[in-house]
Amino acid sequence: MMRVILESAGHTVTEARHGTAGLMSVKAAPPDLVITDVMMPTMNGVEFIERLRSDPNYAGIPILVVSGNSELATAANARIGKPFLALELVTAAALLIREAGG
């Protein structure tokens, strides 16, 4: 659903099925923005963010957490709760990309 929303707003989206695949994807082609959930298989979103932030090559990539759990999303640049409106997702993504200079 997020892919469709973001692509309809003009963004190019690369998906990863879990945190480990997400890290590999970021390292293969660093994106302008990472969007993650907290609850994921193989590696939760908190660990994913910590690992991404610990690598100086990728630490500056803005991260948007889409999660109902606000307490676990403090390491991200921004968070939107679930359920969310399409406009919330598009607005948050555009703002983070713009703030990062993308």
Residue 41 confidence (pLDDT) above 90: no
pLDDT top residue among 69 and 73: 69
DSSP secondary structure letter of residue 26: H
Identify the CATH number of the domain in which residue 9 sits.
3.40.50.2300
Query: Are residues 58 and 52 in contact, defined by beta-carbon separation less than 8 angstroms?
Result: yes
- Domain holding 20, by residue range, is 2-99
Q: The dihedral of CA 61, 56, 16, 63: what is its sign?
A: negative
Question: Mean pLDDT across the stretch 84-96?
Answer: 97
Question: Of the given ranges (13-17, 24-28, 74-78, 83-87), which has the lowest mean pLDDT?
Answer: 74-78
Question: Of the given ranges (4-18, 50-64, 70-84), which has the lowest mean pLDDT?
Answer: 70-84
Count of structural domains, the chain: 1
